[in-house]
Amino acid sequence: MKHQRRFVIAAALALIIGTVLVLCLWPRKEPTWQGKTYSQWFAEFREAKVRHQQPVQSFGMPAGSSKFVPTTGYYDDIDGLLRDPVADSLRAMGTNILPFLIDEIRHEDNYVIRTYRDLYWKFPTGVKRLAPGPSSGRDEIRVDAALALTALRADAAPAVPTVYRAFATARPYARGGFQESLRRLPFDDAALDAALDTLVRRRDLSSAVSLVNQFGVRNLNSVRILTNAVFSTNAPASDAAFAQLRYCRRYHAFVLPALREALKTGDQAARWHAASTLELYEADAAEALPELVAALISDDGELRYRAARALEAIGTNALPAAQALASATNDSSVMVQRAATRAFSNLKKDATP
């Protein structure tokens, strides 16, 4: 009786496993359009992309050489590709092909492939020669699927959140392709914020700032990211963050604490950027008077000049800095003298009854 019960349980498990395997391995019938499957249409689109690559002539210096030699590179002519008859066919399919393209974008490399690829580049040179090279992965296919979405125009709107997520999780070299697609797809505030939050969690402030720059997002979430990025040790990311904060004056109450801190503790470039940004905020930058006055008497001539310019832009709200400005009219730098004189003159005019 006991053996019989075990046999029944084993048979039931075998039946369940067999059923699951059949369902998983049974070939699914893919939808078709005009006699071709969606996979075939997508493959034709990818082939068309290769046809629309344009050569670019440049000069480079090969390793071990001391002379520049002409080289040929290629760039993707996306506008030409989207005028191709294959792109017209995708547009004619409309939302019907949307689920297929979304699945292609979501289909990432599995954990084993990703782990081996990351480890391979850390191997010593001798090991790399013996070990098989990592596969190119699916990033290129996923980027092409996102690009195919742009051919659908407004019909692609439901897929925009998927592309944002793909951008945030893709390897750095693939993000440019997703970003190009996002630039051409309908804008989605909520999806963009979710992608930005993902990048912040991954501590990739550089890519987050790049997204803010690409789409010109001006909201509290982007301001939070930019004010964090100004203190990044990644100089290009910090510079780009300051460049974007120039356009965030309406959020000055949230930005000023970061700019004031940058003036006090930032490196030279950060202090210069902070002072120049405060100049653009004009009267709204009055809270930063203590830091600007300190900058006005620093040993850095360029910083003194930018601080004087910021105080000039603040206008009459800079009255508490009058004494510092009066002293700066005798600065060793002629540029600082002129800026301080203009600022101090404005204060004297205002004080005249």
pLDDT tens digits, residue range 71-84?
A: 666 678 899 999 99
Give the range with max mean pLDDT: 113-117, 123-127, 166-170. 166-170
Nearest to 198 by CA among 189, 187, 207: 207
The C-alpha atoms of residue 74 and residue 95 are separated, in whole angstroms, by 32
Q: What is the mean pLDDT of residues 189-200?
A: 88
Structure tokens belonging to residue 142: 């996923």
Q: Which helix (H) or strand (E) holds 71?
A: strand 69-76
Q: How confident is the model at residue 126 (pLDDT cuts 50, 70, 90)?
A: confident
Rounded Cα distance, 170 and 89, in Å: 28
At 353, is the pLDDT very low, low, confident or very high (cuts 50, 70, 90)? very low
Task: Report the domain count for the chain.
Answer: 1
Quick one: angle between helices 205-215 and 220-229, nearest 10?
130
Please report which confidence band the pLDDT of residue 11 belongs to, taking 50, 70 and 90 as the band edges. low
Asked whether residue 291 is domain-assigned, the answer is yes
149 within some domain: no
285, part of any domain: yes
Q: What is the pLDDT of residue 130?
A: 75
Total residues belonging to the chain:
353
Mean pLDDT of 223-242: 92
Q: Which of 95-104, 107-116, 220-229, 281-290 has the lowest mean pLDDT?
A: 107-116
**Which class for 243: exposed (0-12), middle (13-18), buried (19 or more C-beta within 10 A)?**
middle
Q: For 268-309, what is each residue's pLDDT tens digit?
A: 999 999 999 999 999 999 999 999 999 999 999 999 999 999
Residue 19 has pLDDT above 70, yes or no: no
Largest interatomic CA distance in the chain: 111
Task: Judge whether 237 lies within some domain.
Answer: no
Is residue 252 domain-resident? Answer: yes
Alpha-carbon gap, residue 214 to 352, rounded angstroms: 48
222 vs 28, more confident: 222
Q: Residue 134 pLDDT > 50, yes or no? A: yes
Question: What was the pLDDT predicted at 228?
Answer: 93
Each residue of 320-335: pLDDT tens digit? 999 999 999 999 999 9
How much is the pLDDT for 132?
A: 78
Mean pLDDT on 106-118: 78
Whether 119 shows a pLDDT value over 50: the answer reads: yes
Query: Mean pLDDT over residues 195-218, rounded?
Result: 87
Higher-scoring residue by pLDDT: 114, 205: 205
| Mean pLDDT, residues 55-70 taken together | 66
Per the structure, the complete domain to which residue 305 belongs is given by 248-353
Q: What is the DSSP letter of 131?
A: S
Residue 335 CA, chain-centre distance (Å), reads: 37
For range 117-122, the mean pLDDT: 73
- Tell me if 185 is assigned to some domain: no
> 5-12: which pairs have CB atoms within 8 A and are 24 or more residues apart?
none
Arithmetic mean of pLDDT, 49-56: 85
- The β-bridge partners of 32 are 37
243 contact partners, CB below 8 Å, separation of at least 6: 213
CATH number at residue 292: 1.25.10.10
Does the global pTM surpass 0.75? Answer: no
